[in-house]
Amino acid sequence: MTKDPIIVNAPASKSLSHRTLIAATLAKGVSHISSVLDSEDIHRTRDCLTACGAVIEEKDGKLVVTGMEDGPKGANADGKHKDETPRELFMHESGTTCRLMTAVAAAGKGVFRVHGAPRMHERPMAELTDALSSLGAKFDFEGKEGFLPFIMTAGGYRKKSVDITLEESSQYLSGLLLGAPMADHETTISVTGKKAVSWPYVALTLRIMEDFKAGFAVEIKEDRAWKEVPWRSIKGVTPGQVRFIVKPTGYENTGYMVEGDWSNASYFLAAGAVGSRPVLLKGLAADSLQGDRAIMDILSQMGASIKVNFDGILVEPSRLRGIRVDMGRCPDLVPTVAAAAAFASTPTTIENVAHLRLKETDRLAACAAELTRAGCEAEASDDSLSIRPGRPLRDGEVEFKTYNDHRMAMAMALFELAGAKVGFDNPECVNKSFPGFFDEWKKIVG
């Protein structure tokens, strides 16, 4: 007899919450935003936007956002208060906030001090600061050049073109795209470099820009000529072959609801495959542009039974097998897939994920270490992670290190479904993206 499924409501998308709030605050007038994720990272973005001049208030379960007049404003934005203390943009450990907000603030005027937690000061920013410098921003690095903390003096995007790579992060491009409609001229953003990662996150940015009526066009190079194409038709980026023409339209205020988050839902979808009861996820858009929607395809390749119906996404207990998979487009899923791979019958290799070493921690090394702690054989290379399932953990005890990384904690919780008693050195780190995770997880293991 099939067991009744465990029902879990997906939290709101973190990626879309960041982008929606930014677009709403750049729009003139008032926007009403519902279902915004309530997490530490989103609060960092809210605080930065407020510091730039936006007003964000909570009312009847929604956020009422009053946009900035004439874009973000830092200290001495009017040029008359040179002794004014730089406006503080504190990122804590939110890489998304840091990359998006630095580029957005540079599209405004005034002086900003950009800084964060110690780990944030170790994450490279040179590609973005170099691009913003070419557009007219000035940087005074307090420590190592190309890293936080720094003082940024912004005067808007003064040049008409800029190059950026997607080798380290797609968020550099997303930040420039979000800031460019605030310029007083058309801005061309060209993708350069050797490879491009995480394209789906750029698609999310373009979707929000479109929904808030910001003007842009995407062009690809064919036969040495540039040709405009529908942005939704692009499934990946070849450096040197794609550019974005952003018009100086600004944004329009609107009402908006943020959809469910495939990244944070991934742990529960995996639980349905490796546990003993089906799991039904509600609140997810099966046709979402979120790159982490790929968790359905990846789990299906591993042998999971997944059904999409009007009630939600249903995943049933399945016998999993190992696979070889390129996860360059969905790096946030790697800890989830790595943990699920420990339940498979054969080895798994995850490829094209070098950029995971630049996350809240070195996630490749962290995944390898914690999977080994759980009894697997796991090895990280410069660009890949290999997992060979090991001894069963039933009735064992494992104390996982989280590395203060929310995704490590949530992914390693899957080992409770192997019958192990699982503990974490810092379970509170999930507050970064999903404060209610362990309350929801009790439905799975309870």
**C-alpha–C-alpha distance, residues 62 and 60, integer Å:** 6
Look at the block and give the residue holding tokens 């460019």: 180
- CATH topology match: 14-257 vs 261-445: yes
Look at the alpha carbons of 385, 406, 291, 146 in this order and tell me if their dihedral is positive or negative. negative
**C-alpha–C-alpha distance, residues 256 and 207, integer Å:** 12
Tens of pLDDT along the chain (446 residues)? 468 999 999 999 999 999 999 999 999 999 999 999 999 999 999 999 999 999 999 999 999 999 998 899 999 998 888 889 999 999 999 999 999 999 999 999 999 999 999 999 999 999 999 999 999 999 999 999 999 999 999 999 999 999 999 888 899 999 999 999 999 999 999 999 998 878 889 999 999 999 999 999 999 998 889 999 999 999 888 999 999 999 999 999 999 999 999 999 999 999 999 999 999 999 999 889 999 999 999 999 999 999 999 899 999 999 999 999 999 889 999 999 999 999 999 999 999 998 888 777 899 999 999 999 998 999 999 899 999 998 656 667 899 999 999 999 999 999 999 988 999 999 999 999 999 999 999 999 98
Nearest CA to 309 out of 2, 1, 55, 5 is that of 5
Class of the CATH-defined domain 261-445: alpha beta
Q: What is the CATH number of domain 14-257?
A: 3.65.10.10
Nearest CA to 358 out of 45, 95, 39, 14 is that of 95
Look at the block and give the residue holding tokens 């874009």: 71
5: DSSP letter: P
- For the chain, how far is it from start to end, CA to CA, in angstroms? 20
The number of CA neighbours under 13 Å toward the Cβ of 380 is: 20
Nearest CA to 213 out of 235, 189, 181 is that of 181
Q: Domain residues of the chain, as ranges?
A: 14-257, 261-445
CB atoms within 10 A of CB 100: 28
Q: In this structure, are strands 421-424 and 397-400 parallel, antiparallel, or unpaired? A: parallel
At residue 395, the pLDDT reads 62
332 is catalytic: yes
User: Which listed residue (41, 292, 332, 405) is catalytic?
Assistant: 332
At residue 396, the pLDDT reads 77
pTM for the predicted model, two decimal places: 0.88
**C-alpha–C-alpha distance, residues 21 and 388, integer Å:** 42
At residue 394, the pLDDT reads 62
**C-alpha–C-alpha distance, residues 44 and 231, integer Å:** 30
The number of CA neighbours under 13 Å toward the Cβ of 429 is: 22
